[in-house]
Chains A and B, each alone.
Chain A
């Protein structure tokens, strides 16, 4: 048995769905990079619209590490969104404006409505804000495709707008480096939201 002739050579240019965020936030790039590696901080970005909880008994790691495969469960209130395997990788790019650090989650949806997607690529790039290295230019790109992608686009777009607002609101709290305070543990991280942050448009 051989694949039919139509499968002998295929070129595919995918017209994938994208959701993009680009914003300047009130912390330096080191703090933003540190927050990206904190499961607790990442969970705060989606809450309370979407909650993220561990699947394995050992719970979430205190820090995402490159190469990690971490299954998590996502819920929106009482509605289960399914399980997602988070896979972390890093990339560094030198741009004219300075060094860019890219945190990539190329995990795969394990169950739920997102499991029908065959493209899922979420990249978050942090770099010094133009003209102000004490602040961070945060660029966030989600690319997805597959059956049902068009139906999911407005849902994911709305979640990402919420996420953008939360990033702006929480950024100033990321300036605290728990590693510099030996009395802190991961559970002590103060990620409280200051409602006065994030009021500006972007």
Chain B
């Protein structure tokens, strides 16, 4: 049985606004109850679009990497980005997955897996994920990622946000 045809391709500079819209919507869908509402409500699509425009143009030092978008019927429904690992204890040869998001309407369709495959292939990599995000952690586990014990905590609007690092492949520094 055929289901929808998703396309994954490298992002273009003209995708900035579409990526920003998916970015904001997917955060609100994925992080409701996990990140303070004030933060999610305060996300601004136009500001995100400008940030993405600069990322795609290579204007933000250290953030430039591979950015991919997933489309369904010509509409961007997800994105992924990866690049050099930004951690102080980065392991040589191990890349970092900065983000992979799809809209809730496209959960469970395999679009996220296509984005992961495009952004990382089978490369050794690391990523940071909310500690309390069982869906994302199960997704990454399926792609071979396991916790390495590293944890970092942010305080956002008075709420502590804990992230754990997941790694796949590579060797220890």
Cβ of B27 within 8 Å of any chain A Cβ, yes or no, is no
Interface residue SS majority, chain B: mixed
A110 to B134, Cβ gap below 8 A? yes
B135 to A9, Cβ gap below 8 A? no
* Cα–Cα distance between A64 and B109 once the two chains are bound (Å): 22
- Interface size, chain B (Cβ < 8 Å): 36
Interface string of B107-120 (1 = CB under 8 A from A): 11110011001111
B138 to A2, Cβ gap below 8 A? no
* Cα–Cα distance between A1 and B114 once the two chains are bound (Å): 19
B110 to A12, Cβ gap below 8 A? yes
B123 to chain A: closest CB distance in Å?
A: 6
B117 to A14, Cβ gap below 8 A? no
A100 to chain B: closest CB distance in Å?
A: 16
Instruction: Select B109's contact among A15, A69, A121, beta carbons within 8 Å.
Output: A121
B108 to A116, Cβ gap below 8 A? no
B9 to A121, Cβ gap below 8 A? no
Say whether, besides A13-B2, A106-B104, A118 and B8 are in contact (CB < 8 Å): no
Say whether, besides A3-B119, A87-B135, A106 and B1 are in contact (CB < 8 Å): no
Residues of chain A in range 39-78 having any CB-CB distance to chain B below 8 Å: 67, 69, 71
* Cα–Cα distance between A72 and B122 once the two chains are bound (Å): 31
Q: Which residues of A contact B117 (CB under 8 A)?
A: 7, 10
B116 to chain A: closest CB distance in Å?
A: 9
B7 to A10, Cβ gap below 8 A? yes
B82 to chain A: closest CB distance in Å?
A: 9
A40 to chain B: closest CB distance in Å?
A: 22
B9 to A8, Cβ gap below 8 A? yes
Say whether, besides A85-B134, A85-B138, A7 and B107 are in contact (CB < 8 Å): no
* Cα–Cα distance between A35 and B121 once the two chains are bound (Å): 43
A3 to B118, Cβ gap below 8 A? yes
